[in-house]
């Protein structure tokens, strides 16, 4: 059986959590079907050389003169449906897999009757609606236009999911949304997996100052908002004799000089550098509707984590001595200044939790789902 894995350049090669999740999903289809049987149709980005802000504005304009929502217009090239039709004619797939809700509008180019799976990293509608309602300053004037864009996104996203009939959702919370779209929806959940050995964390007493790390793509607004919240409402109340924070990821450079006890590192290729440096990871997410891949990656590497409950959205409940959930800034300040923070940092997340995110844990699940999809159309 031949499979065509359809994705966008930003998703397949991106250094964000979404990029990591996409590559893991592709690897699981390789495991199940054989790497030689999975072809990739990867759409190059639109106007890649433009500054991000300018590209966002042009994508809004493009959405006004086409049927694409601005999120899709931001990452997909002009003529994308023709490109997919040519790829299908060239590869003759028995199964098409379309990765990411902002790519789903291309489903119109898939011939009727060809089995199709759409992969949901999130409900794009909910994510964009949160983003629009959180606009501030001069950007808020775009809210009426973007609310219409949200309506268009909902229409296209829902229609694509129903047409495919088969949804592979990274978030357990979002899976319910897709099941409710129509009778007979075939929906399953895929936990993020990681294809490298988990970090061998050493359990040992920790000392002050405690080194805490936040790993995220900080050009993405929920991550940036969480970083602002932590820096201004938590770290500002903790002296450098108690806490030193480390921000990792693209865009973290904008926080340079924000606090005397805040160090920024930008994008880091070798994640083991992060695990060795930090005593405790943090996930201060305040908004957004996606599975936080970096939260999951910290768990996989058995790093103790302090997180908001929203950071754990979409994955099965994680109850472990190495994971602390607190939501209010004063709770974070109190915890990080307490002996309990040292105790938590001295330990690690249990091996049972880490093992949930190993490739072997999801391989059989993907195989069964593919079998069910082919049986529905066979």
Task: Give the DSSP per-residue string, 197-266.
Answer: PPP-PPP----SSEEEEEE--TTSHHHHHHHHHHHHHTGGGS-TTTEEEEEESTTGGGGTTS-TTEEE--
3-state SS class at 96: strand
Same structural domain for residues 271 and 370?
Answer: no
- Please report, for residues 38, 100, 310, 340, the alpha-carbon distance to residue 117 in angstroms, rounded to integers and kept in the order given: 14, 11, 28, 45
Residue in the structure block whose two tokens are 């290729």: 269
Q: Are residues 163 and 30 in the same domain?
A: yes
In this prediction the pTM is: 0.86
Asked if residue 335 and residue 222 are part of one domain, the reply reads yes
pLDDT score of 62: 85
Residues 15 and 153 in one domain: yes
In a domain, 198, yes or no: no
Do 309 and 188 belong to one domain?
no
Domain membership of residue 115 (yes or no) is yes
What is residue 289's predicted lDDT score, i.e. its pLDDT?
64
In a domain, 295, yes or no: yes
61 with 180, same domain: the answer is yes
The closest of 110, 101, 107 to 129, measured between CA atoms, is 101
Q: Are residues 303 and 327 in the same domain?
A: yes
Same domain, 31 and 159: yes
Q: At a CB cut-off of 8 Å and minimum separation 6, what does 105 contact?
A: 67, 68, 69, 72, 76, 156, 160
What's the number of domains the chain is made of? Answer: 2
Claim to verify: residue 312 and residue 271 sit in the same structural domain: yes
- Its domain, for residue 78, covers 3-192+359-377
Q: Cα–Cα distance between 293 and 195 in angstroms, integer? A: 14
Kindly state whether residue 324 falls inside one of the protein's structural domains: yes
Residue pointed to by tokens 């607190």: 326
Same domain, residue pair 340 and 245: yes
CATH code for position 188:
3.40.50.2000
Distances (CA, A) of 139 to 133, 169, 289: 11, 31, 21
Cα separation, 191 vs 299, in Å, equals: 12
> How does strand 3-8 pair with strand 38-43?
parallel
Residue 315 included in any domain: yes
In a domain? residue 203 = no
Residue-by-residue pLDDT tens, the chain, 378 positions: 999 999 998 888 877 778 888 999 999 999 999 999 999 999 987 777 778 778 878 888 888 888 888 888 888 888 999 999 999 999 999 999 999 988 999 999 999 999 999 999 877 667 777 777 776 777 777 777 778 878 888 888 999 999 999 999 998 888 999 999 999 999 999 988 999 999 999 899 999 999 999 999 998 888 999 999 999 999 999 999 999 999 999 999 999 999 999 999 999 989 999 999 999 999 999 987 678 899 999 999 999 999 999 999 989 889 999 999 999 999 999 999 999 999 999 999 999 999 999 999 889 999 999 999 999 876
The first and second tokens of residue 75, run together, are: 């990452």
* DSSP-assigned letter for residue 49: T
Nearest to 7, CA basis, from 47, 46, 36, 40: 40
Interhelix angle for 329-336 vs 221-233, to 10°?
A: 60
The answer to whether position 197 is within a domain reads no
Exposure letters 252-286 (e unless 16+ CB within 10 A, then b): beebeebbebbbbbeebeebeebbeebbbbbbbbb
Beta bridge partners of 243: 210
User: What whole-number distance in Å separates Cα of residue 34 and Cα of residue 138?
Assistant: 50
pLDDT of residue 378: 65
Same structural domain, 186 and 219: no
**99 within 8 A of 157, measured Cβ to Cβ:** no
Asked whether the beta carbons of 322 and 344 are under 8 A apart, the reply is yes
**Are 155 and 14 in the same domain?**
yes
* 144: number of Cβ within 10 Å: 10
Tell whether 199 is covered by a domain. no
């Amino acid at each position: 059986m031949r499979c065509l894995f359809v994705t966008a350049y930003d998703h397949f090669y991106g250094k964000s959590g979404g990029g990591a999740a996409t590559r893991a999903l592709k690897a699981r289809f390789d495991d199940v079907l054989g790497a030689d049987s999975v072809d990739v149709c990867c759409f190059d980005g639109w106007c890649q050389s433009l500054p991000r802000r300018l590209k966002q504005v042009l994508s809004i304009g493009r959405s006004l003169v086409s049927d694409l929502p601005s999120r899709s217009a931001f990452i997909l090239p002009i003529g994308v449906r023709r490109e997919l039709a040519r790829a299908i004619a060239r590869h003759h797939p028995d199964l098409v897999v379309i990765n990411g809700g902002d790519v789903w509008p291309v489903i119109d180019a898939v011939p009727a009757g060809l089995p199709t799976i759409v992969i949901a990293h999130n409900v794009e509608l909910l994510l964009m609606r949160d983003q629009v309602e959180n606009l501030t300053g001069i950007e808020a004037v775009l809210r009426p236009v973007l609310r219409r864009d949200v309506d268009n996104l909902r229409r296209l996203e829902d229609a694509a999911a129903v047409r495919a009939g088969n949804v592979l959702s990274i978030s357990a919370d979002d899976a319910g949304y897709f099941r409710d779209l129509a009778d007979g929806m075939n929906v399953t959940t895929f936990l993020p997996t990681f294809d490298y050995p988990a970090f061998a964390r050493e359990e040992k007493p920790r000392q002050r100052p405690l080194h805490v790390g936040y790993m995220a793509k900080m050009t993405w607004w929920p991550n940036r908002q969480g970083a602002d919240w932590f820096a201004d409402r938590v770290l500002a109340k903790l002296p450098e004799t108690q806490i030193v924070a480390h921000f990792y990821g693209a865009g973290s450079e904008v926080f340079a000089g924000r606090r005397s006890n805040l160090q920024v590192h930008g994008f880091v290729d070798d994640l083991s550098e992060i695990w060795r440096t930090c005593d405790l990871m943090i996930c201060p997410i305040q908004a957004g509707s996606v599975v936080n891949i970096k939260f999951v990656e910290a768990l996989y590497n058995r790093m103790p984590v302090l997180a908001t409950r929203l950071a754990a959205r979409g994955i099965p409940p994680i109850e472990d001595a190495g994971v602390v959930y607190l939501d209010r800034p004063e709770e974070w300040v109190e915890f990080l200044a307490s002996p309990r923070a040292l105790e938590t940092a001295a330990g690690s997340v249990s091996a049972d939790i880490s093992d949930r995110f190993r490739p072997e844990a999801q391989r059989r699940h993907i195989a069964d789902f593919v079998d069910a999809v082919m049986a529905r159309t066979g």
